[in-house]
Structure 1
Amino acid sequence: MTALPSSARSAARDGRKDRIARYGAMAIAVGVVLLVTSCSGDDKEESKQSSTPAASIPEPSKSSAPSDPQAADKRDVLAAYRAYWSEQVKAYSKANVEATDLDKYASADALGRARSDVLSLQKAGVVAKGAPVNHPEVSDLDMDRQVPRATVTDCLDVSKWTRVKKKTGETVASPKGQLKKYTATINTEKWGKQWMILKVTPKPRSC
């Protein structure tokens, strides 16, 4: 084999060094790219995990105060009592019970007294204007009886419920010593589905 001149051998060695250097540089570059890609992927995964909202924990429900088991029945009692007064005001304003539904909500002593008062108004030629102000509450309720019974306590203000002469509109003076604001006890019973006002007992004291 023919020996290469020394200059050729030197050039060949330099060429191999250049190729090794280039390969090394390429390997480093590839390694850097892989490292960057790997880190970038980890960052994205961490970012994805960190951006995922944590499961919300529902707040414990607040326990409500126990309701009155008789609340609905008490509302029905008071509704009937207010209707009784509404019809009574109509009867007094016309001096005529028959033109109202008073007997739908009142019976016994309560209805008899209302009719008696209206009859007195007719004879005197007087009617009532305005209306009383009520503040009723159910003070006792017994639904276990065969005929349920309830007692209503009311603070009645009749100061704006005045009597006037039907023909002239002249105000009729109230009896001397009559209270304008007083308490009353009302006895009621449930007849079928309807609460009926049976008796209204005024108390000789203000409220």
Structure 2
Amino acid sequence: MAFTSGHGDVNKLSAVASGAAYQKLAADLFKAQQAGLIFKGAPVTNPHVAAVDLASSPAKATMTDCLDTSNWIPVLASTGKSVVESGSPTHVFVNLVAEQVPDGTWRISQYAPEQGRTC
């Protein structure tokens, strides 16, 4: 994963994300790289499909997730020192939209964490 190595290729994000979600993830990856950050551990996801619209063009699925980041720790790549800010939330509620692309696969097109919402 790009965030754990510190040498991620934003072009590889296009395999899983498009549109606004791609832009946000690419910007987050760039900021982490510029700050010399990598992430240790892994987030835990628990996605739920709220709705699927196969009649729309492109087909869309609306999902929610409670992203558990308690074991996904940002550290300085140069020292391994944690840079977790005190009081940072460890569970983030996220709204997602996925769209089916012409080859039949799906990409996350919208990714919106809800700050302050518990899950």
> Which structure is higher in strand share?
2
Instruction: Single out whichever of 98-107 and 178-187 deviates more from structure 2.
Output: 98-107
How far 1:112 moved relative to its partner?
A: 1.1
Question: Counterparts of 1:118 and 1:94 in 2: how far apart (Å)?
Answer: 11
SS in 1 for 2:88: coil
CA contact (8 A) 2:51 2:62 kept: yes
> How many residue pairs are counted as aligned between the two chains?
117
**RMSD (CA atoms):** 1.6
One-letter amino acid of the counterpart of residue 185, structure 1: N
CA contact (8 A) 2:10 2:29 kept: no
The answer to whether structure 1 residue 190 and structure 2 residue 97 are counterparts is no
User: Which of the two has higher C-alpha Rg?
Assistant: 1
Q: 1:164 to 1:100 in 2, by over 3 A?
A: farther
Which residue is equivalent to 2:82? 171
> Which structure is higher in helix share?
1
| TM-score when normalising by structure 2 | 0.89
Which residue is equivalent to 2:91? 181
Question: Counterparts of 1:99 and 1:112 in 2: how far apart (Å)?
Answer: 9
Percent identity between the aligned chains? Answer: 32
| TM-score when normalising by structure 1 | 0.53
Structure number with the bigger relative contact order (C-alpha 8 A, sep ≥ 6) is 2
One-letter amino acid of the counterpart of residue 205, structure 1: R
Structure 1 consecutive aligned stretches of length 4 or more whose deviation exceeds 6 Å: none
One-letter amino acid of the counterpart of residue 67, structure 2: L
One-letter amino acid of the counterpart of residue 181, structure 1: H
The answer to whether structure 1 residue 133 and structure 2 residue 39 are counterparts is no
How far 1:171 moved relative to its partner?
A: 0.8
SS in 2 for 1:169: coil
Q: 1:149 to 1:124 in 2, by over 3 A?
A: same
Unaligned runs of 5+ in 2: none
Q: 1:100 to 1:145 in 2, by over 3 A?
A: closer
